[in-house]
Amino acid sequence: MAVGTPGAPFVVRDALLVTQDATRQVIRGDVRVDRGRFSHVGPSAPSEGAEVVDGREFALVPGFINAHTHVAMSPLRAIADDRDLPQFLETLFAVDAQRTEADLEAGAAAGIAEMLLSGTTTFLDLYYGEDAVARACGRLGIRGYLGWAVLDPELTTQKGVPLANAREFIARWKGHDRVLPLVAPQGVYVCSEPTWLGARDLAKETGTLCHYHLSETRREVHEHEAKTGERPANWLDKIGFLGPGQVAAHGVWLNRREVERLAVNRVGVAHCPSSNLKLATGGIAPVVELRDAGATVGLGTDSVASNNSLSMLREMHVAGLLQKHHRWDASALPASALLDLATREGARLLGRDADLGSIEVGKQADFLLVRLDHPTLIPARPEAIVSHLAFSASEEAVDSVYVDGECVVRHRALVREPWAGIRAAAEQAAESLWSKRPA
């Protein structure tokens, strides 16, 4: 099914196009890709000079955008299960302090492979040692927005000053085609006012995004309020930090005033339902209220140490069920809204809605081909396909994945590197890291 020559024009003929355009059209039609962008979407694409492939048995869907990850943590999946966030972090920090560049890259490659194989074409990451993650992105072909973790110097295990490390990381990777570096303050529990404002200024100076954790737990909120007299989002607004080009992860414990402040300041929120449920953070992120206030909300998996999956198909499912159940409202976050979170809204979070998030002429050709004959997509009807993607589709139904028109997954196999070698390196990293976990 997938075309074979990287960079060559191609046409996918007669697929079920889940366009995610402004009208959310689902139509039978063709796409043509030239120079990594869609040049035709609709019936009867011109085939001159292009390879033509048969799309009749596939849905063609925009690539998913995972709005919050720590992808290098793949070797740590299940290392801290059944613990609340403080206990979880205690275990993770002890292991993180002993990680090497080699095992960071091995973990990142394994996580990126998992994401590509389940249809994610772009992800937003927060970690240290992001050069290793950047190299893994280059190896496998995914688009990575990579945030270097910043915190107060006296609280870090990083060598050097975290903010200076972030500046240097941005300088090394700025201008790369699929690696987009940024600054990522960890959270109010390890960042003082000067660190927050330094991160803000660095993002403005370099023209990058700023990504951070916000109000993930009730304890975080209460301790910060006891220390400063303000809840975290209100305090960040008070010190002049909040503004456009920011993505706050979690946002579980936000009150109405904070929701409004985030929306007014055009701060996006990455909703991470599976991780929050598994770590028993207690609250339910006010996704409906954020969207009603005008804030952009995307969807993130968080790390495999806390989720334990990087599948956006699974994350849509959980997000929808959680909001419906919590609100006693079966109409809350319908399938169409869930697919928006994973595609259009994720692109808007990154400031890339002109380029990503839908199947439209002029946009970058990031998409996946989903097998319509897979058991989890029966009945394969146009009016049901969005529901299937949000609530039932298996990762195994994802046949092929494209980034910038390049096929990076073909018939459920990675194109640039075989899985066997990636797996072997990740298992080797896990062997060392698991031996270092505290009792």
Q: Are residues 227 and 100 in the same domain?
A: yes
Q: Are residues 208 and 230 in the same domain?
A: yes
> What CATH number is given to the structural domain containing 171?
3.20.20.140
Residue 313 domain-assigned? Answer: yes
The count of C-alpha atoms lying within 13 angstroms of the C-alpha of 228, restricted to the half-sphere facing its C-beta, is 21
Domain co-membership, 57 together with 78: no
User: Is 437 part of a structural domain of the chain?
Assistant: no
Q: What is the 3-state secondary structure (H, E, C) of 338-349?
A: HHHHHCHHHHHH
Whether 343 maps to a domain, the answer reads yes
Contact 272, 250 (CB under 8 A): yes
Task: Please give the pLDDT value at position 436.
Answer: 80
Same structural domain, 281 and 303: yes
- Please report, in angstroms and rounded to a whole number, the separation of the first and last CA atoms in the chain: 49
Question: Is 54 found in the same domain as 70?
Answer: no
Going through 293-410 in order, the beta strands assigned E by DSSP cover: 297-299, 367-371, 398-403, 406-410
Q: Could you tell me if 227 and 343 lie in one domain?
A: yes
Count of domains observed in the chain: 2
What 3-state DSSP class applies to 68?
A: strand
Contacts of 249 (CB under 8 A, 6+ apart): 67, 68, 126, 211, 212, 213, 214, 216, 269, 270, 272, 300, 302
Regarding beta strands 367-371 and 58-62, do their DSSP bridges make them parallel or antiparallel, or are they unpaired? antiparallel
Please check whether residue 238 lies inside any domain of the structure.
Answer: yes
- 116 with 227, same domain: the answer is yes
Asked, for residue 2, whether it belongs to a domain, the answer is: no
pTM score of the predicted model: 0.96
Domain with 395 in it: 10-62+363-414
From first to last of the 439 residues of the chain, give the pLDDT tens digit.
Answer: 456 566 789 999 999 999 999 999 999 999 999 999 999 999 999 999 999 999 999 999 999 999 999 999 999 999 888 988 888 888 888 888 788 999 999 999 999 999 999 999 999 999 999 999 999 999 999 999 999 999 999 998 888 999 999 999 999 999 999 999 999 999 999 999 999 999 999 999 999 999 999 999 999 999 999 999 999 999 999 999 999 999 999 999 999 999 999 999 999 999 999 999 999 988 999 999 999 999 999 999 999 999 999 999 999 999 999 999 999 999 999 999 999 999 999 999 999 999 999 999 999 999 999 999 999 999 999 999 999 999 999 999 999 999 999 999 999 999 999 999 999 999 999 998 888 887 6
**Per the domain annotation, does 33 fall within a domain?**
yes
Q: What is the largest CA-CA distance in the chain?
A: 67
159 and 26 within one domain: no
Let me know whether 43 and 90 are in one domain.
Answer: no
Q: Radius of gyration (Cα) for the chain, nearest Å?
A: 21
54 and 75, same domain (yes or no): no
pLDDT of residue 89: 82
Rounded CA separation 247/208 (Å): 11
Domain with residue 378: its CATH number is 2.30.40.10
Helices assigned H by DSSP within 68-161: 85-96, 101-117, 130-140
Nearest CA to 210 out of 259, 293, 150 is that of 150
**Does 158 fall in a domain?**
yes
Contacts of 218 (CB under 8 A, 6+ apart): 253, 281, 282, 283
Within a domain: residue 213?
yes
Tokens standing for residue 382: 């146009």
pLDDT of residue 2: 57
Q: Verify that 288 and 212 share a domain, yes or no.
A: yes
Residues 252 and 128 in one domain: yes
Antiparallel, parallel or unpaired: β 143-150 and 120-127: parallel
User: Are 115 and 310 in contact, with CB atoms under 8 Å apart?
Assistant: yes
